[in-house]
Structure 1
Protein backbone atom coordinates (compact mmCIF):
# COMPACT_ATOMS: atom_id res chain seq x y z
CA UNK A 1 0.00 0.00 0.00
CA UNK A 2 1.57 3.29 -1.07
CA UNK A 3 1.18 6.68 0.63
CA UNK A 4 -1.72 7.87 -1.53
CA UNK A 5 -3.70 4.67 -0.93
CA UNK A 6 -3.12 4.98 2.81
CA UNK A 7 -4.24 8.62 2.71
CA UNK A 8 -7.42 7.65 0.87
CA UNK A 9 -8.02 4.75 3.27
CA UNK A 10 -7.81 7.13 6.28
CA UNK A 11 -9.25 10.33 4.80
CA UNK A 12 -12.41 8.80 3.33
CA UNK A 13 -13.82 7.50 6.62
CA UNK A 14 -12.70 10.60 8.55
CA UNK A 15 -14.48 12.96 6.16
CA UNK A 16 -17.54 10.70 6.16
CA UNK A 17 -17.72 10.51 9.95
CA UNK A 18 -17.26 14.26 10.34
CA UNK A 19 -20.04 14.94 7.82
CA UNK A 20 -22.30 12.52 9.71
CA UNK A 21 -21.46 14.19 13.05
CA UNK A 22 -22.29 17.64 11.71
CA UNK A 23 -25.58 16.40 10.23
CA UNK A 24 -26.42 14.81 13.58
CA UNK A 25 -25.45 18.08 15.28
CA UNK A 26 -27.87 19.94 13.01
CA UNK A 27 -30.65 17.51 13.96
CA UNK A 28 -29.87 18.00 17.65
CA UNK A 29 -30.47 21.75 17.30
CA UNK A 30 -34.14 20.89 16.79
CA UNK A 31 -34.19 19.60 20.36
CA UNK A 32 -33.05 22.47 22.63
CA UNK A 33 -33.62 20.37 25.76
CA UNK A 34 -30.68 18.10 24.78
CA UNK A 35 -27.60 18.85 26.89
CA UNK A 36 -24.58 18.56 24.60
CA UNK A 37 -22.29 18.33 27.64
CA UNK A 38 -23.70 14.97 28.79
CA UNK A 39 -23.34 11.48 27.41
CA UNK A 40 -24.11 10.38 24.74
CA UNK A 41 -24.52 13.81 23.16
CA UNK A 42 -21.05 15.06 24.08
CA UNK A 43 -19.63 12.39 21.73
CA UNK A 44 -21.18 14.50 18.96
CA UNK A 45 -20.34 17.95 20.30
CA UNK A 46 -16.76 17.17 21.35
CA UNK A 47 -15.33 16.50 17.84
CA UNK A 48 -17.41 19.19 16.10
CA UNK A 49 -17.08 22.13 18.48
CA UNK A 50 -13.42 22.97 17.59
CA UNK A 51 -14.55 23.50 13.99
CA UNK A 52 -17.59 25.55 14.94
CA UNK A 53 -15.97 28.02 17.36
CA UNK A 54 -13.75 29.88 14.83
CA UNK A 55 -16.45 29.87 12.15
CA UNK A 56 -19.00 31.33 14.57
CA UNK A 57 -16.72 34.38 14.90
CA UNK A 58 -16.98 34.91 11.13
CA UNK A 59 -20.62 33.89 10.56
CA UNK A 60 -23.08 35.20 13.14
CA UNK A 61 -26.40 33.43 13.71
CA UNK A 62 -29.03 34.31 11.14
CA UNK A 63 -32.38 34.96 12.79
CA UNK A 64 -31.09 33.28 15.94
CA UNK A 65 -30.11 30.13 14.02
CA UNK A 66 -26.51 28.93 14.06
CA UNK A 67 -25.78 27.94 10.46
CA UNK A 68 -22.13 27.02 10.99
CA UNK A 69 -22.79 23.24 11.14
CA UNK A 70 -24.49 23.50 7.75
CA UNK A 71 -21.45 25.30 6.35
CA UNK A 72 -19.17 22.55 7.68
CA UNK A 73 -21.31 19.83 6.09
CA UNK A 74 -20.80 21.64 2.79
CA UNK A 75 -17.06 22.02 3.34
CA UNK A 76 -16.52 18.37 4.28
CA UNK A 77 -18.71 17.17 1.40
CA UNK A 78 -16.80 19.36 -1.04
CA UNK A 79 -13.45 18.16 0.29
CA UNK A 80 -14.53 14.55 0.01
CA UNK A 81 -15.64 15.04 -3.59
CA UNK A 82 -12.59 17.07 -4.66
CA UNK A 83 -10.12 14.65 -3.07
CA UNK A 84 -11.83 11.26 -3.17
CA UNK A 85 -14.65 11.50 -5.71
CA UNK A 86 -14.64 9.73 -9.05
CA UNK A 87 -12.62 12.60 -10.55
CA UNK A 88 -10.95 13.52 -7.24
CA UNK A 89 -7.31 14.50 -7.00
CA UNK A 90 -6.22 11.55 -4.87
CA UNK A 91 -8.31 9.14 -6.90
CA UNK A 92 -6.59 10.33 -10.06
CA UNK A 93 -3.17 9.94 -8.44
CA UNK A 94 -3.87 6.31 -7.62
CA UNK A 95 -4.90 5.66 -11.22
CA UNK A 96 -1.68 7.21 -12.51
CA UNK A 97 0.55 4.97 -10.42
Structure 2
Protein backbone atom coordinates (compact mmCIF):
# COMPACT_ATOMS: atom_id res chain seq x y z
CA UNK A 1 0.00 0.00 0.00
CA UNK A 2 2.60 2.46 -1.11
CA UNK A 3 0.02 5.06 -2.15
CA UNK A 4 -1.14 5.46 1.46
CA UNK A 5 1.04 8.23 2.85
CA UNK A 6 1.18 9.18 6.53
CA UNK A 7 -0.82 12.35 5.75
CA UNK A 8 -3.49 10.29 4.01
CA UNK A 9 -3.65 7.97 7.01
CA UNK A 10 -4.36 10.95 9.26
CA UNK A 11 -7.04 12.44 7.00
CA UNK A 12 -8.72 9.25 5.78
CA UNK A 13 -10.72 8.44 8.95
CA UNK A 14 -12.27 11.92 8.93
CA UNK A 15 -13.01 11.73 5.20
CA UNK A 16 -14.55 8.29 5.71
CA UNK A 17 -16.80 9.59 8.50
CA UNK A 18 -17.83 12.80 6.76
CA UNK A 19 -18.53 11.07 3.45
CA UNK A 20 -20.62 8.44 5.20
CA UNK A 21 -22.62 11.09 7.07
CA UNK A 22 -23.09 13.23 3.96
CA UNK A 23 -24.33 10.32 1.87
CA UNK A 24 -26.64 9.19 4.68
CA UNK A 25 -28.11 12.69 5.05
CA UNK A 26 -28.62 12.97 1.29
CA UNK A 27 -30.35 9.58 1.25
CA UNK A 28 -32.62 10.72 4.07
CA UNK A 29 -33.45 13.91 2.15
CA UNK A 30 -34.41 11.87 -0.93
CA UNK A 31 -36.49 9.51 1.22
CA UNK A 32 -38.36 12.53 2.57
CA UNK A 33 -38.88 13.70 -1.02
CA UNK A 34 -40.41 10.31 -1.82
CA UNK A 35 -42.84 10.74 1.06
CA UNK A 36 -43.59 14.30 -0.05
CA UNK A 37 -44.65 13.03 -3.49
CA UNK A 38 -47.65 11.49 -1.71
CA UNK A 39 -48.70 15.00 -0.62
CA UNK A 40 -48.60 17.22 -3.73
CA UNK A 41 -50.33 20.07 -1.87
CA UNK A 42 -47.24 20.64 0.33
CA UNK A 43 -45.46 23.85 -0.64
CA UNK A 44 -41.69 23.19 -0.61
CA UNK A 45 -41.02 26.93 -0.23
CA UNK A 46 -42.79 27.20 3.14
CA UNK A 47 -41.61 26.30 6.62
CA UNK A 48 -38.73 23.83 6.98
CA UNK A 49 -39.31 22.17 3.59
CA UNK A 50 -36.66 24.27 1.79
CA UNK A 51 -34.06 22.41 3.89
CA UNK A 52 -35.16 19.25 2.09
CA UNK A 53 -35.90 20.77 -1.31
CA UNK A 54 -32.77 22.85 -1.86
CA UNK A 55 -30.18 20.02 -1.81
CA UNK A 56 -32.38 17.61 -3.77
CA UNK A 57 -34.25 19.66 -6.36
CA UNK A 58 -31.30 20.46 -8.67
CA UNK A 59 -30.45 16.79 -9.26
CA UNK A 60 -34.13 15.80 -9.40
CA UNK A 61 -34.81 18.47 -12.03
CA UNK A 62 -31.95 17.18 -14.19
CA UNK A 63 -33.11 13.59 -13.78
CA UNK A 64 -36.72 14.49 -14.64
CA UNK A 65 -35.49 15.63 -18.07
CA UNK A 66 -34.28 12.09 -18.74
CA UNK A 67 -36.81 9.98 -16.82
CA UNK A 68 -40.46 10.83 -17.37
CA UNK A 69 -43.05 10.12 -14.68
CA UNK A 70 -44.35 6.56 -14.80
CA UNK A 71 -48.13 6.49 -14.53
CA UNK A 72 -48.06 10.08 -13.26
CA UNK A 73 -45.65 9.19 -10.44
CA UNK A 74 -42.26 10.89 -10.18
CA UNK A 75 -39.76 8.05 -9.74
CA UNK A 76 -36.62 10.20 -9.77
CA UNK A 77 -36.21 10.31 -5.95
CA UNK A 78 -36.32 6.51 -5.90
CA UNK A 79 -33.60 6.38 -8.55
CA UNK A 80 -31.40 8.71 -6.49
CA UNK A 81 -31.93 6.75 -3.27
CA UNK A 82 -30.71 3.66 -5.12
CA UNK A 83 -27.70 5.41 -6.66
CA UNK A 84 -26.61 7.08 -3.42
CA UNK A 85 -27.03 3.83 -1.49
CA UNK A 86 -24.86 2.06 -4.06
CA UNK A 87 -22.14 4.71 -3.90
CA UNK A 88 -22.25 4.74 -0.11
CA UNK A 89 -21.86 0.96 0.04
CA UNK A 90 -19.02 0.97 -2.52
CA UNK A 91 -17.07 3.67 -0.69
CA UNK A 92 -17.81 3.56 3.04
CA UNK A 93 -19.76 0.35 3.54
CA UNK A 94 -18.32 -2.59 5.45
CA UNK A 95 -16.59 -3.88 2.32
CA UNK A 96 -16.22 -0.42 0.76
CA UNK A 97 -13.07 0.91 -0.79
CA UNK A 98 -12.27 3.50 1.88
CA UNK A 99 -13.14 1.04 4.65
CA UNK A 100 -10.79 -1.55 3.23
CA UNK A 101 -7.96 0.96 2.87
CA UNK A 102 -8.46 2.04 6.47
CA UNK A 103 -8.49 -1.53 7.75
CA UNK A 104 -5.35 -2.51 5.88
CA UNK A 105 -3.53 0.63 6.91
CA UNK A 106 -4.41 0.02 10.56
CA UNK A 107 -3.24 -3.59 10.32
CA UNK A 108 0.15 -2.60 8.93
CA UNK A 109 0.63 0.32 11.33
TM-score between both structures, scaled by the size of structure 2: 0.84
Give, in whole Å, the separation in 2 of the partners of 1:36 and 1:90: 35
Secondary structure (helix, strand or coil) at the match of 2:68 reads coil
Aligned counterpart, 2:62: 54
Q: Deviations over 1:19-70 (max 9, x none)?
A: 0000011101111110011121111111101111111111111111110000
Ranges in structure 2 where 5+ consecutive residues have no aligned partner: 1-8
RMSD over aligned CA atoms reads 1.1
Ranges in structure 1 where 5+ consecutive residues have no aligned partner: none
Secondary structure (helix, strand or coil) at the match of 2:53 reads helix
Alpha-carbon distance, 1:3 to partner: 2.5
| Aligned 1:78-93 pairs, distance under 5 A | 78-93=86-101
Give, in whole Å, the separation in 1 of the partners of 2:71 and 2:100: 42
Larger radius of gyration: 2
TM-score between both structures, scaled by the size of structure 1: 0.94
Aligned counterpart, 1:69: 77
Number of residue pairs the alignment of both structures matches: 97
